[in-house]
A and B are shown apart, each in its own frame.
Chain A
Amino acid sequence: MSSILEEIETKIEGLKTSTTKSNVGVVRETGDGVARIEGLSDVMLNEMIEFPNGVFGLALNLEETEVGAILLGETTKVSEGDEVRTTGKLLQVPVGKALLGRVVNTIGQPLDGKGDIKTDSFYPLEKIAPGVIKRRSVSQPVQTGIMAIDAMIPIGRGQRELIIGDRATGKTTIAIDTIISQARLNKAGEKGEVKDYRPLYCIYVAVGQKNSNVARALAVLEKEGALPYTTIISAPASDTATNQYLAPFAGAAMGEWFMDNGMDALIIYDDLSKHAVAYRQVSLVLRRPSGREAYPGDVFYLHSRLLERSARVAEKFGGGSVTALPIIETQAGDVSAYIPTNVISITDGQIYLETDLFYQGIRPAISVGLSVSRVGSAAQIKAIKQVAGKVKLDLAQFRELAAFAQFGSDLDAATKARLDRGQRIVELFKQKQYNPIPVEEQVAVMWAMQNGYVDPVPVERVKEFQIKLQDYLQTRKESLLAAIRDKKQLDENIESQLRAALDEFKATWR
């Protein structure tokens, strides 16, 4: 007992309790999650300010006689006449590996009932992105496990690839699939099955989503065993506009910790349309001048400074990376709206999902013509380059020819072959959700397609052929798959093994 008393006494002695100087102001007006404060002559932009009852705010507008602040947390506890003081601190969130496997809110407080998050490092929400000297070009792949993406629109570590499409076209599914694929690779890496594998940790930022959607994503990740490598930041539709506006920045801060410590992180911003809407609300109630579609003038800067924080850092600075997959929801396929064009121009490419394709049963409904990755094949392993080099061209030609083929039935042999090949590629690229395919199996399947093994198979049975082939390879040719995985390229030896395996498989295929 006495030791506890002594401990408390030394603690009290250690505390600084002399006279303090602070800068204060008085709340003149509050409502809609913002407060206007008179005074606060020393406040800095984006500084945290303290209201009574433990409520904090963020000073966003510094005007001649007033300060406009957004409130974090319980907004009803703030009233007119309250004294507000500056803190001299920036808003920060806990970061580190302790956050993996957790669901947190915008300021890093747990929402999953799994107890406190024990971490001693904190990062500010707003940080300047790494400069030119610190960066290097993107060259390592993020294996999404989605064949159409890995083959045609490769994503590299440190890249920013936009996922864009109408509602219910499978945007979130692509993101979740990618997380699941990373978790499987991470697990394989831990077991030593993949040579020199750098684990990729995932951060899923849900902005303005329905709580049911977040719960569903969480359940899927938990079921697939991906949660231990994932942090979910949830700022659902019922959360304040302030929290929705800050959530992506919190995600970026958590991702940056991995990058600064030489690790790789993947952040999914789901979605930035709702983020822009939340920021519009905050700006309008702060009476900032509005521009096009009532968005404030700095809505471009809002997204550009967020996405600029994804980077691949040079070896000298740790060699970490932050990859971003922002999601944008379009209205009736209109990519020329304000926010979509902004984000398209910021990112290094986009995956465009089309409603028509989705309802034709082509899922993931990726539009080959409109999707692009500006990093290109630098982010592919050599084996994929060898088998998928011409797939995008083949598919684009197929789409062109398919439109023509509707008018006439007399087709020359070359055109017919091209159409047949195209139809089969489309079939191969159809993929069930939450079912990422390992890269070595993708290589084997695409090699089979390139070398004409799929051509004799009727179109409606291509998918069955592919699944059986994958099964066969997994069970009977494990060593071949391992060889592709380790060598990361197809040499003569592997190709001859593949040929032998496919001949053997073809003999059993009915």
Chain B
Amino acid sequence: MKINKEVRQLSRQMLQASFTDGQLDSGRISSLVDSLIARKPRNYIGVLKNYRRLLRIEVEKRRARIETASEVDRETTSRLVANLKKKYGSDLTTEFVVNPQLLGGMRIRVGSDVWDGSVRNRLERLQQQL
């Protein structure tokens, strides 16, 4: 995606203004977007698109996607979430997904970090090493 310098700078400034106390603030975000639409500066659609992309990356950094091969009981989930929040901060959102293709175990992805303890991953690595 080719974007010009102005768009990049403005959308970055908007992202920086979207935080209160180091956390994304939905109220500020919507007011920023509203004021941008009201003022309609040059290339504002491009700015919005890039702002959305930056926000998505920012949200992904604070979201944990936990894949398991089968349903996990409530106690394990709450323990897991507590542990993850301790590591990544309290604003971490979690999402539980059941993925039978993992065959067994669990795979957690937070931002670009992945902890993979699934049986499928172990089998794949075994295959590579043998």
Which A residues have a C-beta under 8 Å from some C-beta of B?
11-12, 15, 17-25, 29, 38-42, 65, 85, 287
Tell me the chain B residues, 53-111 only, with Cβ under 8 Å from chain A: 53-54, 57, 105, 109, 111
Q: Which chain B residues border A42 with CB–CB below 8 Å?
A: 112-113
Q: Which chain B residues border A24 with CB–CB below 8 Å?
A: 109, 112-114
Please, how many angstroms separate the alpha-carbon atoms of A19 and B113 in the complex?
13
Please, how many angstroms separate the alpha-carbon atoms of A21 and B109 in the complex?
10
Q: Which chain A residues border B130 with CB–CB below 8 Å?
A: 11
Which B residues have a C-beta under 8 Å from some C-beta of A?
1-2, 53-54, 57, 105, 109, 111-117, 121-122, 125-126, 129-130
Q: How far is the CB of A21 from chain B (nearest CB, A)?
A: 5
- Can you list 13 A-B pairs with a CB-CB distance of less than 8 A? A11-B130, A17-B122, A18-B117, A19-B105, A20-B116, A20-B117, A21-B114, A21-B115, A22-B113, A23-B112, A23-B114, A24-B113, A42-B113
A19, B57: Cβ atoms closer than 8 Å? no
A22, B114: Cβ atoms closer than 8 Å? yes
Partner of B115, one of A20, A25, A287: A20
Q: Which chain A residues border B57 with CB–CB below 8 Å?
A: 38, 65
Please, how many angstroms separate the alpha-carbon atoms of A38 and B2 in the complex?
15
Q: Which chain A residues border B2 with CB–CB below 8 Å?
A: 287
Q: Which chain A residues border B121 with CB–CB below 8 Å?
A: 20
Please, how many angstroms separate the alpha-carbon atoms of A75 and B57 in the complex?
26
**From A42, which residue of chain B is reached at the shortest CB distance?**
B112
Q: How far is the CB of B102 from chain A (nearest CB, A)?
A: 12
Q: Which chain B residues border A21 with CB–CB below 8 Å?
A: 113-115
Partner of A41, one of B111, B115, B116, B117: B111
Q: A24-B109, A65-B57 are in contact. Are A15 and B114 (CB under 8 A)?
A: no
Q: A39-B111, A41-B111, A65-B57 are in contact. Are A15 and B126 (CB under 8 A)?
A: yes
Q: Which chain A residues border B117 with CB–CB below 8 Å?
A: 18-20
Please, how many angstroms separate the alpha-carbon atoms of A239 and B2 in the complex?
28
Q: Which chain B residues border A287 with CB–CB below 8 Å?
A: 2
Q: Which chain B residues border A85 with CB–CB below 8 Å?
A: 114
B125, A41: Cβ atoms closer than 8 Å? no
**From A85, which residue of chain B is reached at the shortest CB distance?**
B114
Q: Which chain B residues border A65 with CB–CB below 8 Å?
A: 53-54, 57
A15, B129: Cβ atoms closer than 8 Å? yes
B126, A39: Cβ atoms closer than 8 Å? no
Please, how many angstroms separate the alpha-carbon atoms of A41 and B54 in the complex?
14
Q: How far is the CB of B57 from chain A (nearest CB, A)?
A: 6
Q: Which chain A residues border B54 with CB–CB below 8 Å?
A: 65
Please, how many angstroms separate the alpha-carbon atoms of A38 and B111 in the complex?
10
Q: How far is the CB of B65 from chain A (nearest CB, A)?
A: 11
Q: A18-B117, A65-B54, A65-B57 are in contact. Are A41 and B112 (CB under 8 A)?
A: yes
Q: Which chain B residues border A12 with CB–CB below 8 Å?
A: 126
Q: Which chain B residues border A38 with CB–CB below 8 Å?
A: 57
Q: How far is the CB of A51 from chain B (nearest CB, A)?
A: 14
Q: Which chain A residues border B112 with CB–CB below 8 Å?
A: 23-25, 39-42
**From B111, which residue of chain A is reached at the shortest CB distance?**
A41
Please, how many angstroms separate the alpha-carbon atoms of A42 and B111 in the complex?
11
The CB with the most chain A CB atoms within 10 A, among B54, B114, B115, is that of: B114
Q: Which chain A residues border B113 with CB–CB below 8 Å?
A: 21-24, 41-42
**From A12, which residue of chain B is reached at the shortest CB distance?**
B126
